[in-house]
Structure formats: C-alpha cells, structure tokens
Amino acid sequence: MSARVYNVLFLCTGNSARSILAEAILTKLGGGRFRAFSAGSQPKGEVHPYALQLLERLHVDTGFARSKSWEEFAGEGAPEMDFIFTVCDNAAGESCPVWPGHPMTAHWGVPDPAAAEGTEAERHFAFAEAWRMLSARISIFLSLPIATIDRLALKARLDAIGRTDDRADGDAA
C-alpha cells in the first residue's frame, strides 16, 4: 500500500520568483510525498532570470519553471489541492478562486527578490535569501505529521510556519 501524495500550490502575484522557488524546493525535498505547483494571480508570463540562474547553480532542473495563472488550478480537470500557500503579501490579500476540495491554506509571506535594488550581487543575494527562507518553512512543513494531526491543529501549525523567524543563522523559532 503506497502512502498518499499531497498536492501543494504556491501562489504569488507574478509567479516569476518566490512561488517558482517554493515549487522547486518542495519538489526537491518532498521525497515523492508531495506534488508541487505554482501560479500567480497576475502572472508575468516569464520566470525571473535570477530565479532561473539560482536554480541552475543549485543543480535544479528548470524544465518545470513556467509563469502561469492560478486559474489553471481552479478549473475543471485541475489537480485537487491539499494545501495552498501564498508566499507574497499581495496574493494573500486578493480574492482567490474557489478551490475544489477545500484545501488547507496559509500565508507564508517572503520579501520579493524581484523587487530588490542595489548591485547585481545584492539582487542575486535577495533571491538566495528567498530560497533560504522558503527552504526553512518547507522543511518545517515536511516535518509535520500531516496524516495523523487533526485539521484544526494542522491549520494552526501551518499559520505558525508563516510567522517563522527567518534569521540569517538558519534557526527557526
């Protein structure tokens, strides 16, 4: 008997950086227990080049990376999501489609690396920081006993992950 595979959707407005990174992280760390997706409310239509460069430097296949609308996951025939996480503040405040299956939702806001200013090195660092923050949160998520915890307790823990203290030393509070 095989273990259940959970579908997870990461949402952001443009679906060009944070949600793409989160999709890559969960795919990498999820051990086949999760299917990761990403989308945006107003997709840019392309993945940010710094996000693609970071993924390539980390030896992550970028073949999955495509900026797409969240409508792709709200319609008939779309995979039913178990979890939906917003990773930007704008998407968290928008009216979302009605998701089939009533997935668990939480907000895990991360600063937008695509909006970073400064030198090229500082801008690349912003993407690395977004990766680090998302990796920490997704690692905590992966450690949850999802199959055995009740919905109310799980929701509280998902919300708490979004409030994780993302200190530079990598410790999660």
Q: Known catalytic residue: 91?
A: no
Q: Of 11, 12, 21, 91, which one is the catalytic site residue?
A: 12
Q: How far is CA 32 from the centre of its chain?
A: 16
Give the other-Cβ count within 10 Å of 126's Cβ.
19
State the catalytic residue, choosing from 9, 36, 88, 130. 88
Q: Which two tokens stand for residue 54?
A: 């970071």
Q: Which of 29, 96, 128, 144 is catalytic?
A: 96
Based on the residue annotation, tell me whether 168 is a catalytic residue of this protein. Answer: no
Give the C-alpha distances (Å, rounded to integers) separating 116 from 76, 99, 104, 141.
37, 32, 30, 27
Strands of the chain, DSSP E = 6-12, 34-40, 83-86, 104-107
Number of Cβ within a 10 Å radius of residue 157 = 18
**Rounded Cα gap, residues 34 and 30, in angstroms:** 5
Is-catalytic flag, 28?
no
Q: Report, as residue numbers or ranges, the catalytic residues.
A: 12, 88, 96
